[in-house]
C-alpha cells in the first residue's frame, strides 16, 4: 500500500543513507532528471554500492531509470534490477516502452536467477501517455501509474498553475485507468517545498478525485501527504460500525440494513473493508 513516495537523487549519498529514516511508504532513487549526463554512470555505481552496504527495511525501493529511448535506460535496467529493489519507475511511458521495459526486466530476472518479480510504475507525462494510460495500466507488472504534470504541461504547451485545471483531464484519466486495472493512482508532486497549505489543498483535491498516493520531492512534504491519504479516525470508526452492522444483519438474516440513517449495500461494505485494511496496515 502506498500513500507517499519520496524522490531522492541517486547521486546524493547523505540522503540515500537516510532513506529509511523518512516516513514515506517508498523511496524513488532517481537516475533521470536528478542526475547530470556526465554523472549517470557514477550514480549507478554509487547506488549499487549503497545497496550492498545498507539494508533498507519496511520501505518500498523504487528506481526511476532513464528513458528507454536514451543511451542510458537499458543499461540502467541491466545494472540495477536485482532482488534488492522492488519497482522500476519508467519515465515518459508509452505502450511501446512499457512493453519493452517489461520484456527486458523478465530477461534480466531469468539471467540473474532472481527470486523477486520486479514491478513497474509508468510515469504518465506526455499527451500520448495520457491517451494510452488504460492500455499502459493493463500490463502484468504495472502496479501503479504516476502522473508527471510538469513534463506533461510542457508537452501540452500550457502553464502549470496552483489551481491545476490544466491537468484535471490527465489526473482523471490516470485515476480511471489505474482503478479500472486495480492498481495505484499516484499524483504528481507538488513543486513548492515551503507552501504546506498549498500542498495539503492540492493533496486533498487529488484524493477527492480518486488518487490514493502522491509523490514527494522533499522530506518535509511526507507528513502532510501521509495524513491526507490515510483514513481519518472518523472514517475508520464509521467503517467499523458498518462491518459490525453487517455481522448483526447476517446473524438476524436481514438482507438490508442501515448505519447512521443511511442504507448500506455491497459497494459501501467493500469500501469499509478497504478503510479498515489501510488503517491496520499503517497502524492507525
CATH 3.20.20.60 residue ranges of the chain are 4-229
Residues of 56-75 as b/e, b for ≥16 C-beta within 10 angstroms? beebbbbbbbbbbebebbbe
The owner of cell 539471467 is 111
CA distance 84 to 141: 17
79 and 48 in contact (C-beta within 8 Å)? yes
pLDDT of residue 81: 96
Beta bridge partners of 259: 262
| Helix, strand or coil, per DSSP, at residue 180 | helix
Q: What is the DSSP string of 147-212?
A: E-HHHHHHHHT----SS-GGGHHHHHHHHHHHHHTT-EEEEPPPS-SS-HHHHHHHHHHHHHHT--
Three cell numbers, residue 224: 502532510
The sign of the CA dihedral 159, 180, 90, 13 is positive
Homologous superfamily (CATH) for 4-229: Phosphoenolpyruvate-binding domains (3.20.20.60)
Widest distance between CA atoms in the chain: 70
Distances (CA, A) of 185 to 14, 56, 209: 30, 25, 10
The sign of the CA dihedral 244, 249, 255, 257 is negative
The pLDDT profile of the chain, 284 residues, written as one tens digit per residue, is 999 999 999 888 888 888 878 899 999 999 998 888 888 988 899 999 988 888 788 899 999 999 999 999 999 999 999 999 999 999 999 999 999 999 999 999 999 999 999 999 999 999 999 999 999 999 999 999 999 999 999 999 999 999 999 999 999 999 999 999 999 999 999 999 999 999 999 999 999 999 999 999 999 999 999 999 999 999 999 999 999 999 998 888 887 889 988 999 999 999 999 999 999 999 88
87 and 110 in contact (C-beta within 8 Å)? no
CA distance 6 to 218: 7
CA distance 100 to 87: 15
Beta bridge partners of 29: 8, 63
Amino acid at each position: 500500500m502506498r500513500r507517499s513516495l519520496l524522490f531522492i537523487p541517486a547521486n546524493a549519498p547523505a540522503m540515500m543513507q537516510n532513506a529509511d529514516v523518512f516516513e514515506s511508504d517508498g523511496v524513488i532513487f532517481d537516475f533521470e532528471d536528478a542526475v547530470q549526463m556526465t554523472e549517470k554512470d557514477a550514480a549507478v555505481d554509487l547506488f549499487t554500492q549503497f545497496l550492498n552496504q545498507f539494508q533498507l527495511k519496511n520501505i518500498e525501493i523504487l528506481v526511476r531509470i532513464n528513458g528507454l529511448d536514451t543511451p542510458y535506460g537499458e543499461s540502467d535496467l541491466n545494472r540495477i534490477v536485482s532482488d534488492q529493489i522492488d519497482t522500476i519507475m519508467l519515465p515518459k511511458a508509452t505502450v511501446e516502452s512499457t512493453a519493452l521495459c517489461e520484456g527486458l526486466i523478465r530477461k534480466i530476472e531469468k539471467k540473474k536467477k532472481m527470486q523477486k518479480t520486479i514491478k513497474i510504475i509508468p510515469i504518465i507525462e506526455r499527451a500520448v501517455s495520457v491517451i494510452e494510460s488504460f492500455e499502459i495500466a493493463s500490463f502484468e507488472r504495472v502496479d501503479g501509474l504516476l502522473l508527471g504534470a510538469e513534463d506533461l504541461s510542457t508537452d501540452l504547451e500550457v502553464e502549470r498553475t496552483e489551481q491545476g485545471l490544466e491537468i484535471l483531464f490527465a489526473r482523471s484519466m490516470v485515476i480511471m485507468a489505474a482503478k479500472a486495472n486495480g492498481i495505484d493512482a499516484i499524483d504528481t508532486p507538488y513543486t513548492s517545498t515551503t507552501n504546506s497549505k498549498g500542498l495539503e489543498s492540492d493533496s486533498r483535491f487529488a484524493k477527492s478525485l480518486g488518487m490514493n498516493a502522491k509523490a514527494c520531492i522533499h522530506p518535509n512534504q511526507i507528513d502532510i501527504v501521509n495524513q491526507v491519504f490515510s483514513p481519518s479516525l472518523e472514517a475508520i470508526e464509521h467503517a467499523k460500525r458498518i462491518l459490525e452492522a453487517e455481522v448483526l444483519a447476517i446473524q438476524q438474516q436481514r438482507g438490508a440494513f442501515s448505519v447512521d440513517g443511511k442504507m448500506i449495500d455491497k459497494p459501501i461494505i467493500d469500501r469499509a473493508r478497504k478503510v479498515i485494511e489501510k488503517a491496520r496496515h499503517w497502524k492507525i
